[in-house]
Amino acid sequence: MIPRLFCLFILSCLLAEAAEPLTLKLWPEGSPGKMLPPSQATQEFVRTKAGKSALTNIAEPTITVYRPEKPIGTTVIVAPGGGYVFLSAMHEGTQVCEWLNSIGVTGVLLKYRTPTRDEAAPHEKPVADAAKAIALVREHAKEWSLDPNRVGLLGFSAGGNLLAHITCDRDWSGYPMNADQMKNSSPNFGIMIYGGGFVDSKDPTKLKTGFTVPADAPPLFMACASDDGQNPLAATALYLEYKKQNLPAELHLFTKGGHGFGIRDNKQPINAWPQRCAEWMDAMGWLPTPEKLTVMISDREQKIAAIAKKIKEATVCADDVLIMMNDQKVLSQKLQEAQQKGDKLLAQKLTVDLDLRQKALATLQAELDKKSFNPEKLIDELNEHKKAIYELQAQRDILLKHKL
C-alpha cells in the first residue's frame, strides 16, 4: 500500500506544476469610452452565430495569464474572433494558450470589449484593450520572468483585424493613450489566423483607403484557407505590402479549411498551422533554448573580436604611416643638404630613395583607406554587441533557472 504522505507529496507536486491562471483587469479604474447598447441585428448575430462557450457583453476587459511549467520568456497575447460581437474564447482562446504553454510560451488570453460592431470604428476599443494588455505584460515582465522585447499578438478573425490595426495604424487620435504610448504598446511580432476586413470592398486585392503598412511594422505570420471569402485576398494583399517594405512576413494559404476552426483538428492540412507557426517563431528567435542563446552569444563575441582585430590592424597601419612620413621628412632634409653642398652622387641616391619611400607611403595609405577605419562607428558596433550579449546572457540565465 502506498503511504498516504507520499500520495500527498505527489499531489502537491502536480498542483505546483499546474499553477492557476492569473486574471487582471486592464482598466482597474474603469474602461475609457462608453459602450453602445447592442442593436437588434447584433443581438440576432449573437443568437445565431455564437457558440455555447462564446463570451459577449464585455464592458470590463481583462487578461488571463497562462504560464508554462518552464517559461522561455516569450509571451503571446491571444485575441479571439467573433466579428466584434462576441469572443470564441475556447478554440480561439484558452486552448490556444494551452498550446502555447506546450512550447514554453506564456499565453495571455485577451478578453477585449465587445460588442463594438455597431460603432463607427468597431476595432478602436478592442485595439486600445490590446495595447493596454501589451503594456501590462511588459510592466510585469521582470516579475513573470518574461522578455519585454518578445511579446507577440495572435489574432483570429476579428482578432486578426485588431492585430492589423495595432501593427499598421499610426493615427491614434481616437484612442485613450497618446501616440507614444500606443507606439510603445505595439507587439514585437504578430500572428494572424484568417484575419481580414482591411481590404477595399470593391477591389479586395487592394488594401482599403487609409490602411497602409508602415516601415516599422513588426514581423508577421499569416495562415488562411482559400475557401474563406475575401480573407485569403486580404492576407495576400497584406503580405505583398510587407514585401514592398522589405519587412519579414510569412504566409500560408491552404486550399480548404473554411473559417473559424481555431486550434481544433478537423483533419485538414490547415489544422497544422500551429506547427508551421512554431517553426516560424523558432526561426525568428522567439523560441530560444540555453543552447541556442549560447551560440548567439558566441557569434556576438566573435564579432567583437573581429572589430578589435580591425582596430589593431588599422592602428598598426596608421603608426607605420606616421613612421614613414617622418622618414620621408628626414630624407627630404638630407637631399636638400646634399644639393646645397653640390654632392650630385648623394643627391641622386637620396632622390631614388625618396621616390621609393613615397611610393611605399602611397601604398600604405591606400591600404589604410581600404580598411574604412571609422572609430565612432566601430565603438557603436562594439557597444551594440556588448548590449546584445548582456541581454542574451540574461535570457539564458532565466531559462537555466527554470530548467533546474
Cell digits of residue 183: 507606439
Cell digits of residue 129: 484593450
pLDDT of residue 318: 65
pLDDT of residue 202: 93
pLDDT in tens, 229-257: 999 999 999 999 999 999 999 999 999 99
Cell digits of residue 53: 462557450
pLDDT of residue 90 exceeding 50:
yes
Q: Which residue has the cell 497544422?
A: 272
pLDDT of residue 402: 63
pLDDT of residue 370: 66
- Can you give the C-alpha Rg of the chain in angstroms? 31
pLDDT of residue 73 exceeding 80:
yes
Cross-strand pairs, 151: 75
Q: Which residue has the cell 526561426?
A: 283
> For residue 69, what are the contacts with CB-CB under 8 A and spacing of at least 6?
17, 101
pLDDT of residue 75 exceeding 70:
yes
Q: Which residue has the cell 483533419?
A: 267
**Mean per-residue pLDDT over the chain, rounded:** 88
In 3D space, the residue among 278, 264, 260, 273 whose CA is nearest the CA of residue 100 turns out to be 278
pLDDT of residue 136: 96
- Is the separation of the CB atoms in 142 and 126 below 8 Å? no
pLDDT of residue 381 exceeding 80:
yes
Q: Return the minimum-mean-pLDDT range out of 28-37, 45-54, 313-322.
A: 313-322
Cross-strand pairs, 110: 63
Residue range 65-78: average pLDDT? 94
Integer angstrom CA distances of residue 342 from 6, 22, 333, 337, 346: 109, 97, 14, 9, 9
CA distance 25 to 58: 12
Length of the chain measured in residues: 404
CA distance 145 to 133: 17
pLDDT in tens, 110-164: 999 999 999 999 999 999 999 999 999 999 999 998 999 999 999 999 999 999 9
